[in-house]
Every structure is written in C-alpha cells, then in structure tokens.
Chain A
Amino acid sequence: MTFSKYENGGKTFKKLRYMKDNYQLYLFILPALLITIIFKYIPMYGTLIAFKDFNPLKGIIGSPWIGLENFQTFISSPNFMDLLLNTLKLSLYGLIIGFPAPIILALMIHRLKNVGLKKKIQLILYAPNFISGVVIVGMIFIFLSPIGPINSLITRFGGDTISFMTEPGYFRSIYILSGIWQGAGWASIIYLAALSNVGQDLLDAAVIDGANIFQQIRYVDWPTIKPITVILFILAAGNIMSIGFEKAYLMQTAMNITTSEIIPTYVYKIGIQMGEYGYSAAVGLFNSFINVVLLLTVNEIVKKLNEGEGI
C-alpha cells in the first residue's frame, strides 16, 4: 500500500498528511457540513416520495412506486392551469415592475448633490425593509379594509367602497406594489454602491463633451451597473417559480383565492395541511424543475445578448 502511494508522486500521501496535520480545519467545517447534509441532502433523497404512493407508515422504501403518476394527476387536474398561470403571472409582473424600480431609484438618488440629504432619504427608504412581512400584510389589510383609510378617501370623493382584499383582480397589483414599497429602497443599495464607483473623471469627461443627464446615464451610469444588474436579473428570473410563499399565503382570503393560490401555497395546503405527501412533493418537484429550466434558459439568453457574460 505504501508503495502505491508513492507511485502517483505521493499526492494521496501528501493529501492525507495535510488532513492529519490540519485536522482542526476539518473539525471547523464539520458542523456546517453535517447540518447541510442532514437538512439539505437527506430531503433531496426524500423527493423520491414524489414518485411513490407514499404512506408514512410504510416509509419511503416500503411505499409502492408509481412513477410519474403524481405528476400526471397534477398536470391534468382542473386547477393546474390556474395554479401555473397565477404563479407565473405573479412572478413575471413582479419582475417586470419590481426589478427596474430599485435601479431607477438608485439612478435618481445618485444624482443628489447634497450628501446629508442623500443619507436622510436613504435612511427613510430603507425603513420598510425592516418591517416584517406579517406586519406589512397586516397594514395592507387595515388600510384597504372596507372601513379603512383608503376607502374613506374613496367614499369622500363620492366613490363606492372597494373591497380590495376580496376582489381577485386586485391581488396581484397589491402584492407587487406593496413589495416594491417594502423592498425597492433596500434593493437600491447595491446599485448605489456600484454607481458610487463610477469614475468621476469619466463623468466629468462626459459633461465636458456636452452630454446631458440622459446621455450621462446612458453612457456612464448604466454601463457601470450593467454587470451587477445582469447577474441579479438572472437570479431573479431563475426564481420565478419559487416566488415567496409567505406573503401570498398571508394575503389569501377565501374570496381572492382564484388569483392568490400559487403553486407553493398549494403544495403547503395539500402536503402539510392535508397530508398528501407524495402528491405535493411531486408538485413541489415540478416547480423546482421549471425553476431550473427557467434559470438556465434566461442565463443562456442573457449570455447571447451580453457577449458571453452570465453565471
């Protein structure tokens, strides 16, 4: 055995030696590895139940294999299209409206000359980010309730009370706009940081060349933040299907369920509340699968558009 270790140039021997000499390093990384393997990898094995008629008493091995039957049931179920469309629409609209918002905000704040004012504004715009999702939804319910301030305003101007939270048509707008209210300020930090790295001489050169503000933005600001924007966009696009369960679940009412039921909330209800473990695992897997496909697709598209830059 010793001889073979020396035969490959002693590489294995060297590696083992390193591990023995630096055993503390391996102890250091052990907790993280253990937690990852237990709570991330073992559940990956658990996705097998998506392909089984899972019975908790029989366990994963003991439950009968049914292949893609769960997936077929899901795809052919009457609410499949609604679920898929609700999930996609919520994510896509959210992306289209919500993604540019922090960028525009950053571009605007960047133009402020007064540093003190800039800092104060930033401080205010960051605040909603620290309010919890539950409170945000709570505020939504209170403000938009039939007896709330928004409806008071509407009736004062002669309109009829709008029942925002029970009308399916409003769900998406409320979800997306409140999300921007909460997150745009915080998200602009990254773009502001990138913008503050814009070479001042570059900007000065542009001004001397007679560039107006729009041209400055187009030729100086934008190229600076383009790299980070691309990466963030790919990540956001890749998460289209795994859109936040938490907020949608909180905002659901019995009335707006036709637009507010998205795949993640469906998985939760079918799986944990109703105990249909195998079926909901299949739905969840379907969701992740679409996610990965989207991520790779968007990455490829962006690569083509952006001369090979991607993840």
Chain B
Amino acid sequence: MFKKQSKLDKVILVFNYVVLAIIVLVVLIPLIYVLIASVTNPTTLVNSGISFNPLKWTFQGYNRVFKDGSLLLGFRNSLFYSSAFSVISVVVTLFAGYPLSRDGFVGKKFIMTIFLITMFFSGGLIPTYLLVKNLNMLDSVWSILLPGSINVMNIILARTYFQSIPNALREAAIIDGSSEMQYFFKILLPLCKPIIAVLVLYQFVAQWNSYFDAMIYLKSAALQPLQIILRSILVQMQPNPGMMGAGSAQDAAQRQQLAELLKYACIVVSSLPLLLMYPFFQKYFEKGVMMGSIKG
C-alpha cells in the first residue's frame, strides 16, 4: 500500500519538475529573445527573426540609442524622480509610523482612521487632477513627488516594525538622558535599517516603472521620465527621430526594420538596470511582502 502511493508521489513530483521547467522557459524565452533581437541585424530580424549567428549581429541599435539623448534624458529624470520620491515618501512614512506605534499616543485611533479611510474612498481621478491644477503643480516635479507619497500600507508596515522594538529600549535611553529626538534618530532608526531598505526599494521601483502621473501632469519634454519616452517609442510607435537618423539614406522598409531593432535596444537598455539589481535586493523585497502580508 505504501509503495503504491510512493510511486504515485514520485510521478507527481516528476510532473511537477516538468511543469515548472516549462514555466521557467515561458518566462525566460521572451527575455532572451529580446536580448538577442537587440543585436540582430535589422533585415534578418524582420525577415526571419532573431539570429544566434554572431556574424549577423550588429550593435548599431545600441549606438543610436546612446548617441541620441532622449533615453538618457529619461533615465536622468527617472533617476531623480525615483530617488526623490522614495526619500520623501520613506521619510514621511517613518515619521508617521513612529507616533502611531507609541502606546498612549493621544489621538492614535482618530489619526489612524483618517489614514484608513483613504484606502477605501478617494476623490477619483478628475477631482485630484483639478486640485493639482489649482495648486499650480501642473508641469511641475512636485506633482510626481507629493500626491502619491503617502501609502497607508507602508505607514502600517512602519508602525508594525516600530512596535516590535521593546519599549524598554526607549525608556532606558530617556533615563540615560537622551531626548525623544535623539532616541529616534540615533538609536531607533539605525535599528530599523531593514524596514527602511524595504520601503526605499519598494517606492523607488514603483516610481521608476510608473507613467500615469507623468502622463497627466507633465507637459514639458525636459521633465519626461523614462517610461513616457519609452511609451512613445514602444507603444505609440513613434520612432524617435534622433535615433532613426537622417531619412534620405534609407528606404521605407529599412527604416521600418531599424525601428524594430531600436525598440528591442530600448527595452534592453531601460530594463536591464532594474533586472540586474533586483537579485541583490531580493531578500529585502521578500521581507517586505511578508511583513505586509502578516499585517494583512
């Protein structure tokens, strides 16, 4: 009896491996395809697909992408937005989480309710847009950095983390003559490096990959983040003139092929940074997700 079930289990486990292998391939193949396509000769690319033959490879896609400044501008802007956003957001979040974690904080329930309500009710797109407009924040970096900086889930995360630090530590510090501020900055925060790391990473990635706020609030070309620039190349199918180069030397078919190549190159250039970095931060992200789920 035991043997029979063991056999079934073995079969299931093998099946498990096979299915997981297929899933991994399904994830990897598109990514590898994009990578190879970005260096494949455009004519080969459009006519017969990617080529693993290095003879058919070209780096002109990348040359053009880097020579033209648009992607670089987008990178610079996004770097600024993501960094500033994560700093502002995390600072405000930590500052909010701490009082909420203190026993006996007068008004805790009231303030918590104010935050929680916003998780279920919101003014909606139009009223928020009108507000930003009336505050003269249209076409300003503040429209990106401020409105979205409060995430109630993050505040709850911070609060939970602060609550896990024993009160005795604070009391001991006070007895030793430390002020509240000194305790917070010199003792508590260094202990909270994990949650700070998680929050900063989360917010950075979220801002880096977002495009909606920028699309509705920002008009000037100089302010556009990376995703908006990518959107015009990849989604709106407007090949970037700077990357395409002078028109007279190429015919229409060649230009179309070049446009395809450029798309792949852009995808690689814009996604590679995050893809290369996230493995290093993986454990932080996982912790963040787990902390969030436990609280949930």
Q: Which of chain A's residues have a CB closer than 8 A to the CB of B106?
A: 15, 18-19
In the complex, which residue of chain B has the Cβ closest to the Cβ of A187?
B289
Docked-complex contact A277 and B275, CB < 8 angstroms:
no
Whole-angstrom CA separation of A289 from B9 in the bound complex: 49
Docked-complex contact B23 and A125, CB < 8 angstroms:
yes
Docked-complex contact A109 and B20, CB < 8 angstroms:
yes
**Shortest Cβ distance from residue A21 to the other chain B in the assembled complex, whole angstroms:** 10
Docked-complex contact A22 and B180, CB < 8 angstroms:
yes
User: Using a Cβ cutoff of 8 Å, how many contacts connect chains A and B?
Assistant: 255
Docked-complex contact B9 and A44, CB < 8 angstroms:
no
Q: Which of chain B's residues have a CB closer than 8 A to the CB of A125?
A: 23-24, 27
Contact with A along B2-27 (1 / 0, CB 8 A): 10010011001100110110011011
Contact with A along B194-230 (1 / 0, CB 8 A): 0000000000010011111000100000000001001
Docked-complex contact B231 and A134, CB < 8 angstroms:
yes
Q: How many residues of A sit at the interface, in one of the four size bands?
A: 35 or more
Whole-angstrom CA separation of A169 from B67 in the bound complex: 40
Docked-complex contact A267 and B125, CB < 8 angstroms:
yes
B129 interface neighbour in A47, A152, A271, Cβ under 8 Å: A271
Whole-angstrom CA separation of A277 from B127 in the bound complex: 8
Q: Which of chain B's residues have a CB closer than 8 A to the CB of A295?
A: 120
A43 interface neighbour in B96, B114, B123, B260, Cβ under 8 Å: B123
Whole-angstrom CA separation of A213 from B12 in the bound complex: 8
Whole-angstrom CA separation of A26 from B105 in the bound complex: 9
Docked-complex contact B24 and A28, CB < 8 angstroms:
no
Docked-complex contact B235 and A280, CB < 8 angstroms:
no
**Shortest Cβ distance from residue A223 to the other chain B in the assembled complex, whole angstroms:** 17
Docked-complex contact A130 and B278, CB < 8 angstroms:
yes
A57 located at the interface, meaning its Cβ lies under 8 Å from any Cβ of chain B in the complex: no
Docked-complex contact B130 and A277, CB < 8 angstroms:
yes
Docked-complex contact A44 and B27, CB < 8 angstroms:
no
A44 interface neighbour in B96, B121, B212, B275, Cβ under 8 Å: B121
In the complex, which residue of chain B has the Cβ closest to the Cβ of A238?
B120
Q: Which of chain B's residues have a CB closer than 8 A to the CB of A128?
A: 27, 31
Contact with B along A15-51 (1 / 0, CB 8 A): 1001100101110110111011111111111110100
In the complex, chain A residues 208-232 whose Cβ is within 8 Å of any chain B Cβ: 210, 212-214, 228, 231-232
Docked-complex contact B13 and A213, CB < 8 angstroms:
yes
Q: Which of chain A's residues have a CB closer than 8 A to the CB of B46?
A: 147
In the complex, chain A residues 268-286 whose Cβ is within 8 Å of any chain B Cβ: 268, 271-272, 277, 280-281, 284-285
Whole-angstrom CA separation of A190 from B287 in the bound complex: 10
In the complex, chain B residues 98-151 whose Cβ is within 8 Å of any chain A Cβ: 98-100, 102, 104-107, 111, 114-115, 118, 120-131, 146-147, 149-150
Whole-angstrom CA separation of A19 from B262 in the bound complex: 60
Docked-complex contact A134 and B235, CB < 8 angstroms:
yes
Docked-complex contact B211 and A246, CB < 8 angstroms:
yes
Whole-angstrom CA separation of A176 from B24 in the bound complex: 18
In the complex, chain B residues 23-42 whose Cβ is within 8 Å of any chain A Cβ: 23-24, 26-28, 30-31, 33-34
**Shortest Cβ distance from residue A299 to the other chain B in the assembled complex, whole angstroms:** 12
B171 located at the interface, meaning its Cβ lies under 8 Å from any Cβ of chain A in the complex: no
A139-B123 in contact given A39-B128, A46-B130, A210-B2 (Cβ < 8 Å): no
> What are the 5 closest A-B residue pairs judged by CB atoms, nearest first?
A43-B123, A46-B127, A138-B234, A32-B96, A132-B209
Residue positions of B touching A, CB distance < 8 A: 1-2, 5, 8-9, 12-13, 16-17, 19-20, 23-24, 26-28, 30-31, 33-34, 46, 48-50, 91-93, 95-96, 98-100, 102, 104-107, 111, 114-115, 118, 120-131, 146-147, 149-150, 155, 180-181, 205, 208-212, 216, 227, 230-231, 233-235, 237, 256, 260, 263-264, 266-267, 270-271, 274-275, 278-279, 282, 285-286, 289-290, 293, 296
Extra inter-chain contacts (10) besides given A46-B123, A46-B126, A189-B285, CB under 8 Å: A35-B92, A40-B118, A105-B23, A130-B278, A131-B275, A133-B211, A134-B231, A141-B234, A213-B9, A267-B124
26 contacts between A and B (CB under 8 A): A25-B98, A28-B96, A42-B123, A43-B128, A46-B127, A46-B128, A108-B16, A126-B282, A127-B278, A130-B271, A141-B235, A142-B263, A142-B264, A149-B33, A189-B289, A193-B290, A194-B293, A210-B1, A210-B2, A213-B9, A231-B296, A235-B296, A267-B124, A271-B129, A284-B126, A285-B124
Residue positions of A touching B, CB distance < 8 A: 15, 18-19, 22, 24-26, 28-29, 31-33, 35-47, 49, 56, 105, 108-109, 111-112, 121, 123-128, 130-135, 137-139, 141-143, 147, 149, 152, 181, 185-186, 189-190, 193-194, 210, 212-214, 228, 231-232, 235, 245-246, 250, 264, 267-268, 271-272, 277, 280-281, 284-285, 287-288, 292, 295
